[in-house]
Amino acid sequence: MSACKSLSFIVKNRSLWAHVRRNVTTWTPVGAAFNAKPHRRLDLFEKNVGLFGVPELSCPAGFQVATRIALKNTELLVEKACSCPPGVDTVQTFDQLSDGLCKVADLADFVKIAHPDPAFREAAEKTCIEIGTVVEKLNTNVDLCKSLKNLLDNPDIVAQLDPDTRRVAELFLFDFEISGIHLDDHLRKEAVALHVKLLDLNNEFLVGSHMPNRIARAAIPEHLHLYFENEGSFIQVGGLHADSPDDLVREIAYRIYLYPNADMMDCLEELLKCRYKLAKLVGYESYGHRALKGTMAKTPETVMSFLQLLTDKLSERTATDFKMMRYMKKKLSPRNSELMPWDHPFLSGVLRAERYNIEPSLYSPYLSLGTCMEGLNNLFSQLYGVSLMSEYPSAGEVWSEDVRKLAVVHETEGLLGYIYCDFFHRPGKPHQDCHFTIRGGRWCQETGQYQLPVVVLMLSLPHPTKSAPTLLTPGMMENLFHEMGHAMHSMLGRTRYQHVTGTRCPTDFAEVPSILMEYFATDYRVISHFARHYETGQPLPESMVARLCESKKVCGAADTQLQIFYAALDQIYHGKPQNRSTTEILKEMQQKFYGLPYMPNTAWQLRFSHLISYGAKYYSYLMSRAVASMVWKQCFIQDPLNRDMGERYRREMLAHGGAKEPMLMVEGMLQRQPTIEDFVDALVSELNPNFETFIMDSES
């Protein structure tokens, strides 16, 4: 179905869909699309339109064709960018160049990990490598960079640029500079060599960080073998088993899984050295300084001040949390009562469950996937005038029959884009919740139309059965809302340039829209519109929602402190070289920012895979949560369905993607300039108990 036909169908049927009434067995079209298995129509003559409607991708070999077309267009656009006079056209050509490569590379990046067909995955992997190599060459193309510098070095021309165009031009130039474009030939070749080496080291560390460790079967008590995977005369340990109620299982998993690997240790040390060397080579004090340019935090010094101040303000609460855990450990294991790092996740969960009775199975019947999608649809309709419309994908458009396609339609602006929902578990699919940009939004000067964004949301949920729809735990529901926050960031932006579309913005701002959605997911005024028992139709009791919200605060300071420790470790690793091992640094940071003892002969840092994608930016989640908390409390807590506030939120924060300084977007929303102290206070206040909840619980 073409975009025009699709929109016509949506508009013609909107009034019909709006009047469908929900009861126990009947959902709106969005709910029905997710609460039942799809009935595939069989049309032998239906043409295969290719993945995401890209005609070339009707078969694996099509990736080679799509890559060839993209690279041919790249050559033409490079020639145009280098020859056209400096001005707006220069930036538009750069963005067109970036868009042509991203449309193939981003799609391939998703397909290589998510497609069930190995042939498609392999073809996509080759495309990623081929386009990645071209991008590396473009980032060191002196003539291409010169065309951009000629533009930005001319004050008269710069004065005529609109703010978005100027910012995008500066961001493109930054990409050149961090690749060493401004260096002489010898140093530039050295920078390119470091980039290539880092690609290999990053991949080696990522793969190694997830590899299991093993130990002789005889070294572990026989009655515990069933908790681990057997491999002949060895036991394989592939994770921390943090939720196991057995103390010894948790301890064994911790000691074995985190046992140091000499090759991985060398890989990490070399990786950090290369990052520092590259940063210094292109003119930065450290890799952290390079990574934080353009973020809300801006410098490593600001990040460390934020983490230290947060630690100081949480210290008493953190001590109280650990005291509660010690008491519970003593109660559960009188003979082995010392609190250890492997106890934290398990005991905090026990304390929450004991105090608030938040067994997930009590909530799940009220949270079918379909009702949650209806809830999201209602929320977006109230806040932004946006509806989610279920569409039937064409032949070959999706990679699994379980994938659902949603058109995102605004009440006056029309079709905004598409969300493909890959929500259900299947063999070989990555077990992670994430958002992928397949195609970014941009104004196409060449066609005079707006290029609609396309994204994928990937979860790993159980399939519906004949007797019941897919039922979500509260955690799954929050994750769904979180990922949909990323998707709506992509949909509601209307940026002129795809280089800054949607989530293509600084990391410490990119998580704000998704974390803000978690607040809506736990507010009864929002939940009451959709959470119904799938069999009886009864609403989810308000007291259960209140207990769930309060339970999150139990051990909240200790949980936050653990995140602070990880963020501080990340900062120190990416600062100036310390002439000591990564393990020695870890021991010091664990003592300073966490409190539970370091266990000898362990190396948790070798499992810290976020060092690759979040290098020097792991703090981003904490800072984003602080901003989201401030936006929620100042703008939405009085009325979470307030349309005026929703429009302001879209206008001030969602619409710009990365085309505006992140702190300016925050200031626009809050109508004041927040400080680091404000961010810290927002996180600390999150842990304050809601006394109304205690009163309500006691009355019920």
Q: For residues 220 and 252, is the Cβ–Cβ distance under 8 A?
A: yes
The catalytic residue among 374, 483, 511, 518 is: 483
- Give the CA dihedral 547, 552, 557, 561, nearest 10 degrees: 170
Dist. CA 16–CA 429, nearest whole Å = 37
Beta bridge partners of 437: 455
Dist. CA 34–CA 462, nearest whole Å = 12
Q: For residues 271 and 574, is the Cβ–Cβ distance under 8 A?
A: no
Q: For residues 557 and 318, is the Cβ–Cβ distance under 8 A?
A: yes
Which residue has 């013609």 as its token pair?
A: 12
Q: For residues 409 and 10, is the Cβ–Cβ distance under 8 A?
A: yes
Q: For residues 376 and 388, is the Cβ–Cβ distance under 8 A?
A: yes
Helices 163-177 and 88-114: angle between axes, nearest 10 degrees: 60
Find the helix or strand (DSSP H, E) in which 380 lies.
Answer: helix 369-384
For CA atoms 169, 175, 176, 178, the dihedral sign is positive
Dist. CA 563–CA 528, nearest whole Å = 32
With vertex at residue 335, the alpha carbon angle to CA 331 and CA 339, rounded to the nearest 5 degrees, is 65
Q: For residues 287 and 615, is the Cβ–Cβ distance under 8 A?
A: yes
Q: For residues 637 and 293, is the Cβ–Cβ distance under 8 A?
A: no
Helices 163-177 and 142-152: angle between axes, nearest 10 degrees: 140
Q: Is 639 left (phi over 0), alpha (psi -120 to 50) or beta?
A: beta
Q: For residues 485 and 513, is the Cβ–Cβ distance under 8 A?
A: yes
Find the helix or strand (DSSP H, E) in which 456 lies.
Answer: strand 454-461
Reply yes or no on whether 483 is catalytic.
yes
Query: What token pair was written down for 406?
Result: 């949603």
Dist. CA 121–CA 113, nearest whole Å = 7
Beta bridge partners of 471: 368
Rg of the chain over Cα atoms, rounded to whole angstroms, equals 26
Q: Which amino acid is at 169?
A: A
Dist. CA 340–CA 95, nearest whole Å = 52
Dist. CA 561–CA 95, nearest whole Å = 41
Strand, helix or coil at 260?
A: coil
How many CA atoms does the CB half-sphere of 146 hold within 13 Å?
Answer: 8
Helix count (H) and strand count (E) of the chain? 29, 10
What are φ and ψ of residue 439, in 5° steps? Answer: -145, 130
Sheet strand arrangement including 386-391 = 386-391, 404-410, 414-424, 454-461, 434-439
Residues marked as catalytic = 483
